Amino acid sequence: MSEKIKVKEKELQEFCTEVLKAAGVPGDDAGIVAASLVDADLAGTGSHGVTRMSDYLGRMEQGLVSPVTKIDLVRETPSTALLDANDGWGQVASERAVELAVRKAGEVGSAWVGVRNSNHNGTAAYWTEKIARQGMVGICSMNTSPVMAAHGSKRPTLGTNPLSIAVPSSSGRPVVLDMATSNQARGKIILAAKNDDPIPEGWAITQEGLPTTDAKEALKGSVLPLGGPKGSGLAIMLDILSGVLTGASFGASMPRMYDDPAPQRVGHIFSAIDIEVFMPPDEFLARMDEKERETREGPPAPGFERVRMPGDGRHERQAERRAHGIPLSREVYAELLDLAGRYGVPTGKLERGVVSG
C-alpha cells in the first residue's frame, strides 16, 4: 500500500471549492482559493497546498478571516493601486490585485499594486505566473509571521518573506523564481522536530541567539536569513514594501498564523511590466530561448545531472501530477474528509478522484 493517496486535480479542486462554499465562502471566491491551493500541491509545495484548508477554515471559524472578502480600493493612480482586503481571503484579494496590475500595465506600461489587511495567499509563484501568462513580467512579495531573526539579532522580527519573479517563455511555461529569504524552510525544521532528527548548523538559532542543531530549540528560537546580511536585508526591504508601505502589519507585531488569535493583516505587493513596452514579444521570447538554452546546457558541474532554469522543477512536477494524480498524505486526506463532515459536503467527489492509494 502506498503511503500517499493520489487524487486527480479536477476532483480535488472541485471538492475543496464545495467545502469552502459550504463553510460560507462565496462561490467564485471559493474557486479562487481552491485553485491556489491545488496549484501548490501540483507544484510540489504541499506546505502551501490543501493541507491549509483546515488551518484557513479554523481561523475563519474563530472570526480571524472574513468569509466574504470585501475589497476596498483605497488609493489609485494610472499605474498604482492600494487595496484593503478587510481581513478577507488573501487569494481573493490577490486575484483582484493581479487583475488590476495587469490591466494598468496594459494601459500605461507597468504597475505596482499593494494589498493591506489581507491573509495568507498561497505561493507567490502562483501570482507571478498569472501575470507572466499575460505577456508581462510579474513580481510579487508579501510579509509573513515573524519567525526569522534579522542578521545579528536573537529576536524574530521578520517573516521568511518570499520574492517571486516570473517572465513569459516560448515554452508556454513561465520562467519563475519563488524564493523565501530564509536559509531553509521552517517546515523542514518542524519535520526534523517531529522525527527527533538534528538539523544542520546555520538553519536556526535558539531563543538566546545561539547556533543550534536541536530542531525543538530551533522552533522556539528563530530561523536564520539566507546568507546572513543579504537575506536579512532583503527580508527587511520586502517587509517594508509589502507591509510598511501598504499599511499592513509588519515586523514582530504581525500575529502568527497558528498561535495568535488575532487577524494577521498581512500585506502583499505586486508589479506587472508589459513586455511589449520594451520590445516586441516575439523578440523577447527569442532572447529568452537563448537565455534558457545557455543556462540549461550548463554544462553541469560534477555531482549534478543538469542545470535548471527557475521554475523547471515546478513545471515538471505539475505535468507529472496532472497526468498521474496529486499525492496527499493520509493525514491530509483524512483532514479533508473531516472538513466535508463538518460542513455537510458529500465526499463522493473526492473519493472518485482517487487514482491510487
By CB under 8 A, the residues from 196 to 225 that bind a copy of itself are: 205, 208-210
What angle, rounded to 10 degrees, do the helices at 330-343 and 9-22 form? 40
Dump the DSSP string for 223-243.
Answer: EPBTTTHHHHHHHHHHHIIII
73 binds a copy of itself (CB under 8 A): no
Of the candidate residues 152, 172, 261, 344, the single one contacting a copy of itself (CB under 8 A) = 152
Q: Which of residues 115-134 bind a copy of itself (CB under 8 A)?
A: none
**Paired residues of 273 in beta bridges:** 110, 137
354 binds a copy of itself (CB under 8 A): no
DSSP-derived 3-state class of residue 62: coil
172 versus 302: smaller Cβ distance to a copy of itself = 302
Segment interacting with a copy of itself, rule: CB under 8 A, options 2-10, 16-24, 87-95, 285-293:
285-293
3 state SS for 100-135: HHHHHHHHHCEEEEEEEEECCCCCHHHHHHHHHCCC
102 binds a copy of itself (CB under 8 A): no
276 versus 335: smaller Cβ distance to a copy of itself = 276
Going from the C-alpha of 298 to that of each of 47, 172, 232, 286, the distances in angstroms are: 31, 22, 30, 19
193 versus 240: smaller Cβ distance to a copy of itself = 240
Of the candidate residues 223, 309, 336, 340, the single one contacting a copy of itself (CB under 8 A) = 309
Output DSSP code: residue 269: E
206 versus 329: smaller Cβ distance to a copy of itself = 206
Count Cβ atoms below 10 Å from residue 79 Cβ, excluding itself.
Answer: 17
Q: Identify the CA nearest to 11 among candidates 324, 352, 355, 323.
A: 352
Segment interacting with a copy of itself, rule: CB under 8 A, options 3-11, 62-70, 273-281, 322-330:
273-281
257 binds a copy of itself (CB under 8 A): no
Of the candidate residues 24, 44, 227, 255, the single one contacting a copy of itself (CB under 8 A) = 227
187 binds a copy of itself (CB under 8 A): no
Alpha helices (H) along 49-114: 52-61, 90-108
Distance between CA atoms of residues 206 and 190, nearest Å: 14
Q: Identify the CA nearest to 268 among candidates 162, 187, 146.
A: 162
Distance between CA atoms of residues 97 and 39, nearest Å: 18
Q: Which of residues 3-62 bind a copy of itself (CB under 8 A)?
A: none
26 versus 281: smaller Cβ distance to a copy of itself = 281
DSSP-derived 3-state class of residue 320: helix
* Shortest separation between residue 157's beta carbon and a copy of itself, angstroms: 6
* Shortest separation between residue 220's beta carbon and a copy of itself, angstroms: 14
* Shortest separation between residue 86's beta carbon and a copy of itself, angstroms: 17
Of the candidate residues 100, 234, 326, 328, the single one contacting a copy of itself (CB under 8 A) = 234
* Shortest separation between residue 20's beta carbon and a copy of itself, angstroms: 31
Distance between CA atoms of residues 121 and 3, nearest Å: 28
Of the candidate residues 140, 288, 336, 339, the single one contacting a copy of itself (CB under 8 A) = 288
85 versus 236: smaller Cβ distance to a copy of itself = 236
